[in-house]
Amino acid sequence: MALRIIRQEEDEILRKKSRPVEKIDDKIKELVKDMIETMHKYDGVGLAAVQVGVLKQVVVIDTYEEGSQIYVLINPEIIKTKGLREVEEGCLSFPNKFAKVKRPEEVYIRALNEEGKEIKIKAKGILAQAICHEIDHLNGEVFIDKIIPGTLEIITPEKK
């Protein structure tokens, strides 16, 4: 496993559409492990492969909630959404920027796991939010594009 460099907001790759994974081989499994390690290192809730410079439809998510699991979603597809709510978001590719966006209250998705088995997930709350955020990345969209006007907050890190 290895930490990967997270691409930042000015990197053009973040605006590119990711390609489906055709074969889950050792290279994809290594990418997944590296993404999980990188996400945890930077306290992220989710990470899409494009954020580490790989244009493949791979997402990892960890909500850090009691009893939750780490989700590995390969070629994820939103089947259905329900409701809409206003939530605050940030992004590892946009450090220190936070804003309110509208996300579905619930999402139903289909994806492959790291073993290549099809999984279906009905998600609510932070998990639904993270899934939508990361799938946006796979489509070359970033949360800054969706902010509710007037809600962008830029936090200046304290200098030590």
Query: Residue ranges of the alpha helices (H) in 2-80?
Result: 26-41
Catalytic residue among 66, 86, 134, 158: 134
How far apart, in whole angstroms, are the C-alpha atoms of residue 114 and residue 55?
A: 17
The yes-or-no answer on residue 10 being catalytic is no
Backbone angles phi, psi at 139, to 5 degrees: -95, 10
Quick one: tokens of 9?
Answer: 């907001």
How far apart, in whole angstroms, are the C-alpha atoms of residue 126 and residue 2?
A: 27
- Give rounded-to-5 percent helix, strand, coil for the chain: 25, 35, 40
Find out whether 50 and 15 touch, Cβ atoms under 8 Å.
no
Residues with a catalytic annotation lie at 134
